[in-house]
C-alpha cells in the first residue's frame, strides 16, 4: 500500500490547525479560570441553560458532550459540589436522572458569559473578515458532517 502524502496546502492547513487548537484551548481555559470554571464546566452550563426547563437527561447530556456515562459523572461532580448543577431523579421513571442548572449555576453562567464571549472574539475571530468567519462556519459544518458520517 502506498501513501498519498498531504499536499503542501493540506499540510499547511493541518499543521496550523493542530498548532492553534491546543494554544486556543489553553487560552480559553485561562480566561474562564477566574470564574472557577473549565471549558468543560462552561459547556455543561450552556447546554443546560439552553435546554427545556434548564435540565437534560444524563444520557442525553453525555451524548451531547461526547462523554461516557462515567466521564459525565466526573464532569458533573465538581459542578454539583459547588452547587451549580444538581442531579434530579425523574418522578415517573426511577431509572432516569436529570442534570439540572441551579440558580447559582445560572448566575455563574451569567457572570462568566460576557468575558467568555469577549475571549472567543479576541482569540478566535480577531483579524478575520466577515467572509472568513462565514467560510469557517461552512468548513466546520462540513467537517462535523464528515465525522458524523464516518466516526471511526
SS (H, E, C) 92-150: CCCCCEEEEECHHHHHHHHHHHHHHHHHHHHHHHCCCCHHHHHHHHHHHHHHHHHHHHC
Summarised one tens digit per residue, pLDDT across range 2-60 is 999 999 999 999 999 999 999 999 999 999 999 999 999 999 999 999 999 999 999 99
**All domains of the chain, ordered by start, with CATH?**
22-113 (1.10.10.10)
User: Over 80: is that where the pLDDT of 151 sits?
Assistant: no
User: Over 80: is that where the pLDDT of 77 sits?
Assistant: yes
How high is the pLDDT of residue 84? 98
Q: Find out whether 16 and 112 touch, Cβ atoms under 8 Å.
A: no
**If you average pLDDT over residues 117-132, what whole number do you get?**
97
**Cα 83 to chain centroid, rounded:** 20
CA distances from 104 to 9, 22, 48, 110 (A): 48, 30, 13, 10
Summarised one tens digit per residue, pLDDT across range 79-123 is 999 999 999 998 888 889 999 999 999 999 999 999 999 999 999
pTM attached to this predicted model = 0.90
How high is the pLDDT of residue 112? 98
How high is the pLDDT of residue 152? 67
Amino acid at each position: 500500500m502506498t501513501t498519498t502524502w498531504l499536499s503542501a496546502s493540506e499540510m499547511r492547513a493541518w499543521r496550523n490547525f493542530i498548532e492553534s487548537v491546543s494554544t486556543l484551548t489553553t487560552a480559553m481555559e485561562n480566561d474562564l479560570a477566574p470564574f472557577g470554571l473549565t471549558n468543560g464546566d462552561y459547556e455543561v452550563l450552556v447546554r443546560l441553560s439552553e435546554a427545556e426547563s434548564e435540565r437534560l437527561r444524563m444520557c442525553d447530556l453525555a451524548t451531547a458532550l461526547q462523554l461516557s456515562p462515567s466521564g459525565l459523572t466526573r464532569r458533573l461532580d465538581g459542578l454539583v459540589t459547588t452547587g451549580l448543577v444538581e442531579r434530579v431523579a425523574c418522578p415517573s421513571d426511577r431509572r432516569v436522572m436529570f442534570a439540572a442548572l441551579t440558580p447559582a449555576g445560572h448566575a455563574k453562567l451569567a457572570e462568566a458569559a460576557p468575558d467568555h464571549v469577549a475571549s472567543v472574539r479576541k482569540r478566535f475571530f480577531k483579524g478575520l473578515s466577515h467572509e472568513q468567519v462565514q467560510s469557517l462556519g461552512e468548513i466546520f459544518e462540513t467537517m462535523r458532517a464528515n465525522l458524523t458520517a464516518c466516526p471511526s
